C-alpha cells in the first residue's frame, strides 16, 4: 500500500491541477523552465485578472507544484520540478503491476509530441 502521507499529498496536488486555469498556469511554468515567470505575465498569458491569478498561484504553491520568490515588488513563480517529479513517481509507482513494459515507452511518447510541436 502506498504511504498514506504521499497519497494525501498526491490528492492535494491533483486537486490543484483539476482546474482549467491552474493546469494552464502549471503547464506555462513548466514550459518556462527554471527561469519561471512573474505573476503579471502569467495572468496576462492566461487572460485572468491578477487578483484571481494570485489565488490560483497560491493553490499551486500550497500543493507543492509551484515555488515563488519575491524580487523587489514582483513575485517570480517557477514550476517546482521536484514536486512534479514526486507526483509523477507516485502515479507511476505501481505501473502495470510490476511490468513496466506494459506502460509503454512514455518518454518516447513525449519525444514524439515535442517533435510534432516543433514541426507545427
Overall pTM > 0.95: no
**DSSP H/E element including 66:** strand 66-71
Segment among 70-74, 79-83, 93-97, 103-107 with least mean pLDDT: 103-107
pLDDT one-digit tens code per residue, 71-80: 889 999 999 9
The CATH architecture annotation of domain 4-119 reads Orthogonal Bundle (1.10)
Q: Taking all residues of the chain, what is their mean pLDDT, rounded to a whole number?
A: 85
CA dihedral 32, 34, 40, 43 (to 10 degrees): 50
> Given this model, what pLDDT does residue 64 score?
95
Residue 72 or residue 96, greater confidence:
72
pLDDT one-digit tens code per residue, 39-71: 999 999 999 999 899 999 999 999 999 999 998
For residue 34, pLDDT over 60 is answered with yes
* Cell numbers linked to 20: 482549467
Where along the chain do its domains lie?
Answer: 4-119
Which residue, among 92, 78, 79, has the nearest Cα to 10 in the 3D structure?
Answer: 92
Amino acid at each position: 500500500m502506498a504511504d498514506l502521507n504521499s497519497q494525501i499529498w498526491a490528492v492535494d496536488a491533483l486537486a490543484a491541477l483539476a482546474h482549467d486555469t491552474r493546469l494552464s498556469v502549471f503547464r506555462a511554468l513548466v514550459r518556462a523552465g527554471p527561469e519561471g515567470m512573474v505573476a503579471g505575465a502569467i495572468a496576462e498569458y492566461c487572460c485572468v485578472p491578477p487578483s484571481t491569478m494570485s489565488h490560483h498561484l497560491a493553490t499551486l504553491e500550497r500543493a507543492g507544484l509551484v515555488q515563488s520568490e519575491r524580487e523587489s515588488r514582483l513575485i517570480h513563480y517557477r514550476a517546482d520540478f521536484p514536486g512534479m517529479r514526486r507526483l509523477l513517481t507516485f502515479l507511476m509507482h505501481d505501473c502495470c503491476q510490476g511490468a513496466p513494459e506494459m506502460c509503454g515507452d512514455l518518454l518516447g511518447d513525449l519525444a514524439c509530441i515535442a517533435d510534432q510541436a516543433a514541426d507545427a
